[in-house]
Structure 1
Amino acid sequence: MPGKNLLKPDLIVAGPVSDLSFAWLKQRDIAGLILDLDDTLLALGEQMVNTRVVEWVARARLEFRLYIVSNNPNRNFIEPIALSLSLPFINRAAKPSRRALRRVLQEMQLPPERVAIVGDRLLTDVLAGNRLGLVTVLVEPPGPSRALRGSWLRAVERSFSSRMWWWPARGIPPGADLK
């Protein structure tokens, strides 16, 4: 991918994952979604996915193949959440490593350009996805980030992109075309 900015997502959603437009994904012929867990599907510090995200996942399942890929090492934490959403998962993914993402692509039986990775982090989700040729989508956390680690890392990421969250020409406003 010569010349491509590896830290630039294809889309920045000005809201949580539940605001991601299925129409935008369909226009790009996306058939699979790789979803981050912590601060994407689940607010940090929470143990249950909120109702809006549960409903969004249920609708997404009708349109796309879904898979959770998380750097979180705690399988005992992730497994019940993935089961509650009826989604397969990989933990300890070590993003921005591409190994886990390649495994998911094989299981989905889809080429990288037909899969989008959706996450809240430039230095893990977006970087890993761009390195593999996936469509990359950056979303806001579904709730306040309670972990000091999360706020510190976001400050570092902002130094890479001063307009990380809101690029009006590219983003989709909250509530836009959720179907």
Structure 2
Amino acid sequence: MAGKSLLRPDLIVAGPVSELSFEWLKQRHVAGLILDLDDTLLALGEQIVNTKVMDWVARARLEFNLWIVSNNPNRPFIESIALSLSLPYVNRAAKPSRRALRRVLEEMQLLPEQVAIVGDRLLTDVLAGNRLGLVTVLVEPPGPSRILRGRLLRAVERLVFPDVLIRPTGNPSVGRS
């Protein structure tokens, strides 16, 4: 990890998780995906995963070992979403802590470099993944957040880390090789 900024994702997708290319992941020998929930699979404030994301998860399940890892403390809510997607989950993950991610890696029986963490936040998902040596992917929320908190946190990240979050016009994703 020498030379890699802890807050720089390996890939920035200029769109929601449903725009994430399986080919890009396979080229990096990714076999497992750790997926954030709030504002990654589900817009904050929503109760149901949209159809595009559900379809993407169904296709991803055929290619990768999938887990939901969320900081959200509402276990019944996380469990209902995880059940609707037929995915195992961890809630109260406390990202950027690596404890929950290590547990999921053990369950997946994969090495960190074989797993990508996909999320919407630099200071939780990307930081936690980079600290553990995972492939890190930053995505946009799957829809507008109903909760002001998500928009505010993302605005602060864009102000503090503008060089990481700027996307060139016309390029659907930016990543390091």
- TM-score (structure 1 length as normaliser): 0.92
Q: How does 1:1-179 map to 2 (within 5 A)?
A: 1-168=1-168, 172=172
Secondary structure of 2:93's match? coil
What's the CA shift string for 1:24-73, capped at 9, x where partnerless? 00000000000000000001111000000000000000000000000000
Quote the offset at 1:3 in angstroms. Answer: 2.6
Gaps (5+ residues) in structure 1?
174-179
> How large is the RMSD of aligned CA atoms in angstroms?
1.4
Q: Moved runs in structure 1, 4+ residues, more than 6 A?
A: none
Q: How many residues get paired?
A: 172
What is the percent sequence identity of the aligned residues? 79
Q: Is residue 117–residue 125 contact of structure 1 (8 Å, CA) maintained in 2? A: yes
Using the TM superposition, name which of 159-168 and 56-65 deviates more: 159-168
Q: Which whole-Å CA distance do the structure 1 matches of 2:144 and 2:135 have between them? A: 26
TM-score after normalising by structure 2? 0.93
SS at match of 2:162: coil
Distance 2:165 2:146 in 1: 18
1:112-169, Cα deviation, whole Å (9 max, x unpaired):
0000000000000000000000000000000112222112211221133214444349
